[in-house]
Structure 1
Amino acid sequence: MSKIELLRLFLNERLTAAADEIFGTIEKTIVEYQEEVSRTKEENNRLRRLLRTQLIHHIFTKYKVRKAERTQLIHHIFTKYKVRQTVRTQRKYQEEISRSKEENNRLQNILDIVIKPEIKLQRA
């Protein structure tokens, strides 16, 4: 074989070996990337589930707080209403008691006039 053929053979072997090494490295890199993509997908799914859980918890907590606030507001309004009604009722009773006392005094005066007539005569 001539030197050129030997050089050509040597270069072909070296190029084939280099190409095999390059393709091996590329295959290894692709496998690593695929594993990384798989881990990333799993992590994304885990984070989505966590986000859904947190979102549901947040919404539920907010609903409970709003429900508690509504309940407290209703209780406050109802209590104010009951207090106003109680004050009105108390005023009515006090007015009725006052009228009854006045009526009793008037009737007592009439009774006193009927039972104990006092006649005062004046001399002229």
Structure 2
Amino acid sequence: MFILSDVYRMLIGIGDRALTPSMKKVVKWDHPAGPKYVHFWSPVMKSTLVVAGLGDLMRPAEKLSLNQSISLATTGLIWTRFCMVIVPKNYFLGAVNLALGLTGLQQVIRIAHYRYTHPAQPSKN
């Protein structure tokens, strides 16, 4: 664990030296939602949930979990609202949460459509 934090500090140090002041303003280097703070890395990690949800588009609808899709849609949409209320406003996290909510909602619609068109199939959850 300490190795990763050392690598992180080294990369931030390189960025502090390599970026010019005008480049730091463009990438919001010192902003509370910039890459030097957790407010940046949280949406980067949460975007993996969106990628996983998009990967589920290739799966057949009968193999998808309704409970999981509802949870992802609800969580994404609730936290999208919260991202616009907190200070500092984190538009990147808001966009990731919106994408998560929409991806989960799309899966719920796919599951509902499948269950409506195939009523004889028993539901698993």
Identify, as 1 or 2, the structure richer in helix.
1
Larger radius of gyration: 1
Q: How does the TM-score come out when normalised to structure 1?
A: 0.29
In the superposition, the TM-score normalised over structure 2's length comes to 0.28
